[in-house]
Amino acid sequence: MTGPVVVIGGGLAGAKTVEALRDKGFDGSLTLVCAEDVLPYERPPLSKDYLLGKAGLLDSTVHDEQWYADRRVDVRLGVSAVALDPAQRVVTLSDGTSLDYSSCVLATGSEPVGLDDLPPGVAVALRTAADAEALKAQLAEGGRWVIAGGGWIGLEVAAAARAAGCEVTVVLSSARPLQSAIGPVAAEVFLELHLAHGVRFRPEHRVTDAVVTDGRLRAVLLEDGEELPADRLLVAVGARPRLDLAVAAGLEVGDGVRVGPDLRTSDPHIWAVGDIAEVNHPVLGRPVRVEHWAWALHQPAVAAASILGQDAAFDDLPYFFSDQYDLGMEFLGDPHPDDRLVLRGDRDGREFVGFLCGADDVVHAVIAVNVWDVPDAVRDLIIDGRPVDPARLADEQVPLAEL
């Protein structure tokens, strides 16, 4: 059995790593280092149910304090890892203490990308529970919101802001929101959805500056000189993995911390999970890093098995979901830039399945809008990589399981 294990990161991936280690029989010293001063929680509800008033912050907590105590997990809240020494196998914490380890798991997550040219303090972001709590209070005040970024966080906050009665303008660099993630045809559905709910868009624009008077935001400036009156500005232009600790420790890094299918890094005693892990994916055949809930949920079991000397490989396909107004969406797979979309169902009624296919009729990814249980039915189809007649894909009389 391995010696002391230190898990660095207080999000879902970190919490699930200590859970998996105990579930798989590890009974040694186990420490979870959490930079925030609250117990690990799931982040997706922060931009969905919490902002809409359908759930409280405690509802997204992974485990309560007693759970960690019962399993002898030493949870260090409000401290971060400031140095990682692979040669000595020591983690140094921000409070001056240090932790020896036999195995270390990095689950440091990602952080929002900012806009450097803005005056300090003029914009808000959404990443942490504290961010969500502040944002919810600001939405309740109403007013004019400008959201920089047309990705999932930006659109989910836009939906919550409209539900709160705010005026909303979304500024995005592409022609449509979500276009790079799901393709132009499916992206048009989300554009129409938000337009129908009164959201305004400034496509192919960028926020470059802000007008502040007497300490309050008055307007947001775009690169073409347009001035958008605004009381609040949310920046949601993307996120970047927190790699400083890994880089300083000399680990191999690309788009993220490079790991094998067993999630072990270039150092044999260090693993990486969640947003920072760039996995040499055994099914997709290339390194892949995904910043979504599902991988943070499922990767820890593989890392824990590997730490305990068991054979394990992470081969899940990328998966994510979103809820906006009355639209629920699930996405599974690894789309290619030149994929075409084959539709099954009612696109105008926002109830359809879309297959993203290559020129060889191989299905690379699937998007399901207000149609449920699709990912489980088509997972093997995507993994097999075999051509499928587009007419069968589009035919609702052909069961998904028979494709």
pLDDT digits (tens, 9 = 90+) for 226-281: 999 999 999 999 999 999 999 999 999 999 999 999 999 999 999 999 999 999 99
Per-residue pLDDT at 96 exceeds 70: yes
Domain spanning 326-402 has what CATH number? 3.30.390.30
Per-residue pLDDT at 180 exceeds 90: no
Query: What percent of the chain has a predicted confidence (pLDDT) above 70?
Result: 100
Torsion sign over Cα 182, 185, 186, 187:
positive
| 5-111+240-307 shares its CATH topology with 114-237 | yes
What pTM was estimated for this model as a whole? 0.94
- The whole-angstrom separation of Cα 201 and Cα 142 is 18
Which residue, 383, 335, 328, is CA-closest to 351? 328
Query: What is the tens place of the pLDDT at every residue in 349-396?
Result: 999 999 999 999 999 999 999 999 999 999 999 999 999 999 999 999
Which CATH superfamily does the domain covering 114-237 fall into? FAD/NAD(P)-binding domain (3.50.50.60)
CA angle (78 as vertex; 263, 126 as ends), nearest 5: 75
Residues whose CB is less than 8 angstroms from the CB of residue 242 and which lie 6 or more positions away in sequence, other chains included: 108, 109, 110, 111, 275, 276
Considering the chain, what is the average pLDDT of its residues? 95
Per-residue pLDDT at 159 exceeds 70: yes
Domain spanning 5-111+240-307, CATH architecture:
3-Layer(bba) Sandwich (3.50)
Per-residue pLDDT at 90 exceeds 90: yes
Per-residue pLDDT at 57 exceeds 60: yes
Q: What is the DSSP letter of 192?
A: H
User: Hey, is 184 helix, strand or coil?
Assistant: helix
Strands (E), 9-62: 30-34
What is the pLDDT, as a whole number, of residue 1? 55
What is the rounded average pLDDT of the residues 304-325?
95
Domain range summary for the chain, segments of one domain joined by +: 5-111+240-307, 114-237, 326-402
Per-residue pLDDT at 2 exceeds 80: no
